[in-house]
Amino acid sequence: MDEKETEKKYRPKKSLMNSFNHAINGFLQSFKMERNMKIHIALAVVVIIAALVTQVTRFEMMALVLAIAFVIFAELVNTAVEAVVDIATHNQYNELARLAKDVCAGAVFVAAMCALVIGYLVFFRKLYTYSYLSVNYINNLSGYITFAALVLVFIAVIILKSRSMKKGGNYVQGGMPSGHTAFAFALFTAIAFVSGDPVSSTFAAVLALIVAESRMETKVHTFAEVLVGAFMGIGITVIVFELAELFVF
């Protein structure tokens, strides 16, 4: 057996969880390192909230989500190329290295301009003709409101984990706060708002508590991490629904 076959045989296999963890870690590193990524995420939050307020259609929401993803994807690629170029050149000036960075920056610019055009096409007429929303707004767009709440919960979890997780840590398992608990309690709160049914709300609350208990039972999270996740999920969802109701009147 030659050296390559031996290396291949004894090379540790990556599990799906490890691959997902590496992907999340890459996103978080870009978020921590790049100021532009922070700006993109902040603008994404603003766009999602504006989409709720202006009652965008399903296809308009799809266009906005794709535009946001396109910009973030371009910024991630730009960050990766900059890191590789710096490694190859040892941070010394090189004309080709400068060209590579400029081209990647141009790709981000094209993505941002594309998103800007899509945002203009979606929002301009709605904002120009905007008036107070109908009383049936919450009932008609409860799915959008729930989606917005979950996205904001996800962003909040990512930000807190990026600040609290130590270098080389596992962002998917452990850390402050518990993302699974935050999502579970966000869904419970959304069900309570949308259904208004005590029975459905009770079942949703029980399921959320089971998720929280399982995170502690498996010792993935501490009680404090689970508690913060629960309050975060409930708090953000309540704020989103209350803001949506504010525009009804």
Which of 60, 75, 225, 242 is labelled catalytic?
75
Q: Is 75 a catalytic residue?
A: yes
Nearest Cα to Cα of residue 64 among 6, 106, 123, 15: 123
Write the CB contacts of 65 (distance below 8 Å, at least 6 apart in sequence).
Answer: none
DSSP state string for 161-199: HHHHSPTT--SSSSSSS-HHHHHHHHHHHHHHHHH--HH
Distance from C-alpha of 149 to C-alpha of 171, rounded to nearest angstrom? 21
Q: How many CA atoms lie within 13 A of 97 on its CB side?
A: 13
Give the distance from CA 115 to its chain's centroid: 17
Count the neighbouring beta carbons within 10 Å of the beta carbon of residue 119. 19
Nearest Cα to Cα of residue 203 among 215, 191, 214: 191
**Both tokens of residue 185?**
């309690």
Q: Which residues are catalytic?
A: 75
